[in-house]
Amino acid sequence: MFPAKPTSRSILFTATIFVLLIFTIYVTANEDPTVETDNEGVDSDLQELIAIDEQGGGGGEEQQQGDQQKEAEVLSKAQRIVLELNSDNARRVIDQNEFVLILGYAPWCARSAELMPQFAEAANKLKDLGSPVLMAKLDAERYPKVASTLGIKGFPTLLLFVNGTSQVYTGGFSGEDIVIWARKKTGFPVIRISSSVEAEDFQKKYHLFVLGLFDKFEGHDYEEFIKAATTDNEIQFVEVSSSSVAKILFPNINATDHFIGIVKSEPEKYIAYGGIFEKDTILQFLEYNKFPLVTILTELNSARVYSSPFKLQVIVFADSDDFKNLIQPLQEVARKFISKIMFVYIDIADENQAKPFLTLLGIEDSENTVVSAFDNRMSSKYLLESNPTPSNIEEFCSRLLHGTLSPYFKSQPIPDNKEKILQVIVGKTLDDLVLSSPKNVLLEVYTPWCINCETTTKQIEKLAKHFMGVDNLVFARIDASANEHPKLQVDDYPTLLFYPAGDKANPVKLSTKSTSKDLATVIKSLLRVKKDVPKDEL
């Protein structure tokens, strides 16, 4: 699920001591004097699930103590229901139980630590629901052979074993996501509600669900609804036969039979389905409507967002305080593009989520609000370069939707090339200084991380001095990691391109393995003006 991270024995030993130290301090601080500390009567295979949620949240000493007490209760409950696997019991547990959901983790893995509390929450909920799923975890770092046998290749990994055969986990990574996925895969794709009390209780537990209203739980339409519920991996489906019960869950429902709608906890809360009752059509409706008007990207939902069917995405980067003022007008804009454009917010201070996108746009150091867009059909990116007001964002989105928005190509600031024998080209100057220049141009395309680029650059500097007396020849270089242009598509670095004065559309690629003397010979032949070419040796 995530690539494994190799570690030395010393790192593993240090990490293990560190975890044990924190755990010892934690248990000591939260120990209930009425609870016995020995483990008599408890199955030796059942051990405590280390699921400490380290997310901070200032709320005073009482709030902190309350959170710690709640956390301790979760840990205590998880201790009784999550099985710790090892080399002795793993195969036996899988063979003797119909359903086993296993979390493969490593003590040093940050993502494993993030998933642990969610796994603990899911374990508690599934137990309360009477689920037949046995929840287990395996320290894959400590038991690598067992992990390899089970198919755990990265950390963390979730696998469901059904009668001994594994299934890859394809759900989300919150506690609720794990519960929904596990129930769907173990024969409970839909919850049936028969009374108003049940409906009201259900509303308190689920913030996203699909409602199906059928007078009878049979027939083609109902069967397609069940197929969709079984196939979907993320959303809880609920079925009712009473229109009065349905109105509790979906107040503005008009139908009395054969109705499907999705309910979300946001301003655009209720969306009714208007298509035919076919599994694939229902699932397509859900794919385009399950997200909120503006999705806040996190580690837990990132995989779901990246795999969404939306080809057009508008991504807004802002700090959390600015976003509080922007969220409402942004939702109003998003409402006008429902099912057409996906709107995503990323905290600009989030290194893991924001920086890769901002680097792609060439503005990784930006601290101000950024509005960007991506068209995944053409791998094009766009940037709102005016103030991010609601009206400007709406116009930006409209032009994106209608294909009239110009793609964005990142560029460094325009440099001062006065008295430089080797001109520095950036994305914004490639047209003027290379493609539209009346002169011949030899362009070196390089990147800072390229191993061989430094040697090539020294050659080009030497050649530039050698041909200094040739008026119709310019030597230049461009950093491809920081500059883009639609007519400069290079994947290999360094690359040398000679743009003839009379045919800029067909540059000649020169060998970077040639000696300076050989390159000089090639350049002379391309210039075809021997009288202007210097005759001294390189």
Residue 511 CA from chain centroid, whole number: 39
CA distance 154 to 354: 24
CA distance 235 to 299: 19
CA distance 130 to 117: 20
| Contact present, 214 and 225 (Cβ < 8 Å) | yes
| Contact present, 263 and 209 (Cβ < 8 Å) | yes
Torsions phi, psi of 57, nearest 5? -175, 105
**Going along 451-524, which residue ranges are E strands?**
473-479, 495-499, 508-510
Single-letter amino acid code for the residue at 315: I
Which residues have C-beta within 8 Å of that of residue 334, sequence separation ≥ 6?
293, 294, 341, 343
Burial profile 204-233: b = 16 or more Cβ within 10 angstroms, e = fewer: eebebbbbbbbeeeeeebbebbbbbbbebe
Q: Could you tell me which of 502, 175, 501, 520 has the C-alpha nearest to residue 510?
A: 520
Residues acting as catalytic residues: 109, 450, 453
CA distance 412 to 408: 13
Which residues have C-beta within 8 Å of that of residue 240, sequence separation ≥ 6?
192, 193, 194, 199, 211, 212, 213, 214, 246, 249
DSSP-based three-state secondary structure for 465: helix
DSSP-based three-state secondary structure for 141: coil
Which residues have C-beta within 8 Å of that of residue 84, sequence separation ≥ 6?
45, 46, 47, 136, 137, 138, 139
CA distance 32 to 328: 45
List the beta bridge partners of residue 280: none
Q: Could you tell me which of 219, 263, 256, 224 has the C-alpha nearest to residue 240?
A: 256
List the beta bridge partners of residue 101: 135, 160
Strands 508-510, 270-272: pairing kind = unpaired
CA distance 55 to 168: 28
